């Protein structure tokens, strides 16, 4: 089955880019210059393309047998019946991330949680975003990927807000299953860890 879309990002010096399907609910598709069905002009951002889609060994959607489309060949984009649900989910997660750090700060000010814990969680967030960025780059260039276990451990240790931010900003691992399910489990486990740290059951000096 072939699909249509437009080139939204192109790195001419490296010979690859990304196609956004006409169906906005579909994920971007990776395109390499060698994936064109026949030689032609160098692609430019905004050009209309028709292509087949396969899932490559790195778990990304990749275009194949790509051809250029004339204006008369492009399918009319269906008008969305309603706004996508995704932004609403994001706003809920945004509030959750903000509330998470506010609650941590309050616990520190009340003396229920050590400031070192807040510092540690901040470092985990910085590391989490950096590892997501490295994994995104590796996925695009065919390099060595960051193990998903590493990303989940960072999320469990408090880096889940930055992990969510990286998923949205970098458009990385936003739809992959069961990664998303495990990610939300790490959030729950992290919250349970925080509750344990401030409970009388915690015998550690933190």
Share of the chain above pLDDT 70, in %: 89
Q: Euclidean distance between the first and final Cα of the chain, in Å?
A: 57
Position 45 scores a pLDDT of 87
Residue tagged 């010979």 (tokens) = 15
Is-above-0.85 flag for pTM? no
* CB-CB contact of 139 with 58 (8 Å): yes
Phi, psi of 20, deg, nearest 5: -100, 115
Q: Average of pLDDT values for 34-57?
A: 86
124 to each of 79, 159, 161, 177, how far by Cα in Å?
42, 5, 10, 23
Tokens 């901040």 map to which residue? 122
- Mean pLDDT of the region 193-202: 92
- Tell me the pLDDT tens digit for each residue of 84-110: 555 555 578 899 999 999 999 999 999
Q: What's the average model confidence in pLDDT over 157-177?
A: 89
Determine how many CB atoms are found less than 10 A away from the CB of residue 36: 18
User: How far apart (Å, rounded) are the C-alpha atoms in residues 37 and 157?
Assistant: 47
Please report the pLDDT score of residue 161 as a whole number: 97
- What long-range pairs does 9-12 form, CB within 8 A, spacing at least 24? 9/45, 10/43, 10/44, 10/45, 12/42
């Amino acid at each position: 089955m072939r699909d249509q879309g437009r080139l939204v990002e192109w790195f001419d010096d490296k010979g690859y880019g990304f196609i956004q399907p006409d169906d906005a609910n579909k994920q971007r598709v990776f395109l390499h210059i060698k994936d064109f069905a026949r030689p032609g002009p160098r692609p430019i951002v905004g050009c209309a393309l028709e292509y087949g889609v396969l899932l490559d060994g790195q778990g990304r959607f990749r275009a194949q047998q790509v051809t250029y489309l004339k204006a008369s060949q492009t399918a009319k984009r269906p008008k969305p019946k309603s706004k996508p649900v995704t932004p609403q989910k994001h706003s809920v997660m945004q509030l959750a991330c903000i509330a998470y750090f506010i609650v941590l700060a309050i616990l520190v000010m009340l003396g229920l949680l050590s400031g070192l814990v807040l510092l540690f969680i901040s470092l985990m967030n910085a590391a989490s975003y950096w590892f997501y960025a490295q994994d995104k780059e590796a996925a695009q260039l065919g390099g060595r990927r960051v193990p998903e276990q590493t990303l989940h451990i960072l999320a469990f240790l408090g880096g889940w807000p930055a992990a969510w931010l990286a998923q949205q900003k970098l458009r990385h691992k936003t739809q992959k299953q069961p990664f998303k399910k495990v990610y939300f489990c790490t959030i729950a486990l992290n919250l349970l860890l925080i509750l344990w740290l401030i409970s009388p059951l915690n015998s550690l000096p933190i």
